[in-house]
Amino acid sequence: MNPDASRLWRAPRWALSVLLACLAMVGPFSIDTYLPAFSGIAAALDATPVQMQQTLSAYLLGFAFMNLFHGALSDCFGRRPVVLVGLAIFTAASVGCALAGSIGQLVFWRTVQGMSAGAGIVVSRAIIRDMFPPADAQRVMSQVTLFFGVAPAIAPMVGGFLFVHADWHSIFWFLTFVGTALLVSNWRLLPETLHPTLVQPFHVRALLREYWRLCSSPRFMMLVLASGVPFNGMFLYVLATPVFLGEHLHFAPTQFFWFFLCTIGGIMAGAAVSGRLAGRMSPQRQIMRGFRIMLAVSVVNIALNLLAPLSAFWALPLIGLFSFGWALMVPVVTLLVLDQVPERRGMASSLQACIGSAANGLVAGLLVPLVMHSTIALAAASAGLMLVGLAAWYGVRRSVVAQA
C-alpha cells in the first residue's frame, strides 16, 4: 500500500467508500437505467429485438476492450487522470446516445460509453489496495459493493419513470447529468493514490510482456474466472430482463424495480456480511461459503422451474439469494487477484475486469438470445456459469492456501 495513505484521505473511511462506489456504479447504472425503455427505443428507432440486444453487447464488449488499458494506464500516469478522462468521455458519449437518430448511431455511442465507463470500477479497485492493508481493504471493498448496490436498484425505477413521463432520450440526458456530477466531484475530492516510487514507465512492449505474464499464470487466470464468471449466473437474468420480466412474469416497465430490489438487495447483504467476516474467517472458507450458497440456489431454481408454475414470489428471491452468495465471496477473490502482482495492481484489475466484461459481452450477445425465451434454460445456464467459477476455484485453492 501507499506509505503516505494516512495523509491522502483524512475524511472518514466510509466517505472514500462512497466516492469509489459512485465510480464503480457507472457501468451497471448505464445498463439498468435504459432496460425498461427497450420496447420504446425499438419502436422509436425502428429496431428489431436483435438490434436492441446489440446495444447491450456493444456496450459490454467496448467495456471489456478498454478495461485492458484503464488499469495499466493508471499504473503509468496515475489513478486520478485516468478516472477524470474516463468520466469526461462517458459524459460526452451519453450526450451522443441522447441525440442518436438511428439504431446504428445508438450502438456506436453505446460502444463509446462502454469503453469509458470501465475506468471507474477498474481504477477504484487499485485505489482501495493502494490505501489499505488486506483486512481493511476487504472491508472497504465490501462497503463499495454495498453502496454501489444502491444505484442499480434505483436505476430501473428512474429509467422507467423517465420513459413513462418523458421519453427514452431523457434517460441518456439523465446519464449525462450523472457523468457531469461525478466528473466534478472526483476532480475536487479524489486524491492521487499511486506512490511516485510505484509509477511504471509507459512502454508498449513492456506492457505486452506483463500482460502475457499474467495471462500465462494459471493461478491468476483461475482466480479471475472464479470471481467473474459466477456473476453472470445473476447477470444473465439482468440481460434478459425485458423478456424475463415482460413476457414470462408479465411485469410492466414500472414494476421492473422489484427484480432489481431483490438482486441488488442480495448483493448489498452479501457485501455487508463479507465486510463483517473480514479478519474473522479465512478467505478460503468465506469463498467456499459463497459458492455453496450459489450451488444450493441453482439446484432449487432448476427444480422449481421444472416442477412448479412460474411465480415472481419464488423466482425473484432465488435470484437475490444467488446474488448474496456471489457478493459474499467476490471481495475476497478480487483482493487475491490484486495481490498476485502487487507492483502492477492497476494492470491486474484491468485484466480481471476485461475478462469478466468479455464474459458478460459473450453472455449478452450469444447466450441470452438462446435461453431467454425459456425459464428452464435460463436456470440451467445460470447454474452452468456458476459451476465454471466453482471449478476454477477448486483448481487454484490449494496453491492460494500455500501462498498465504
- DSSP letter string over 22-77? HHHTHHHHHHHTTGGGHHHHHHHHT--HHHHHHHHHHHHHHHHHHHHHHHHHHHHH
C-alpha cell at 367: 447466450
Q: Which residues of the chain have pLDDT under 50?
A: none
The DSSP 8-state label assigned to residue 198 in this structure reads G
Q: Report CA 77 to chain centroid distance, whole Å.
A: 24
Q: What residue type is assigned to position 198 of the chain?
A: L
Cα 194 from Cα 196, distance rounded (Å): 6
C-alpha cell at 278: 473480514
C-alpha cell at 206: 513492456
Predicted TM-score of the model (pTM): 0.73
How crowded is residue 240: how many other Cβ atoms within 10 Å of its Cβ? 26
The pLDDT, as a whole number, for residue 153 is 66
The pLDDT, as a whole number, for residue 309 is 92
Q: How far is CA 83 from CA 73, 340, 365, in A?
A: 10, 23, 28
3-state helix, strand, coil in the chain (%, to 5): 85, 0, 15
The pLDDT, as a whole number, for residue 342 is 77
In 78-149, which residue ranges form alpha helices assigned H by DSSP?
79-99, 103-131, 134-148
The pLDDT, as a whole number, for residue 403 is 54
Q: Report yes or no: 132 and 240 within 8 Å, Cβ to Cβ.
A: no
Question: Which residues have a Cβ under 8 Å from the Cβ of 267 and sit 6 or more positions away?
Answer: 145, 149, 323, 324, 326, 327
- DSSP letter string over 210-270? HHHHHHT-HHHHHHHHHHHTTHHHHHHHHHTHHHIIIIIS---GGGTHHHHHHHHHHHHHH
C-alpha cell at 360: 458478460
The pLDDT, as a whole number, for residue 314 is 94
Q: Report yes or no: 190 and 360 within 8 Å, Cβ to Cβ.
A: no
Cα 251 from Cα 76, distance rounded (Å): 48
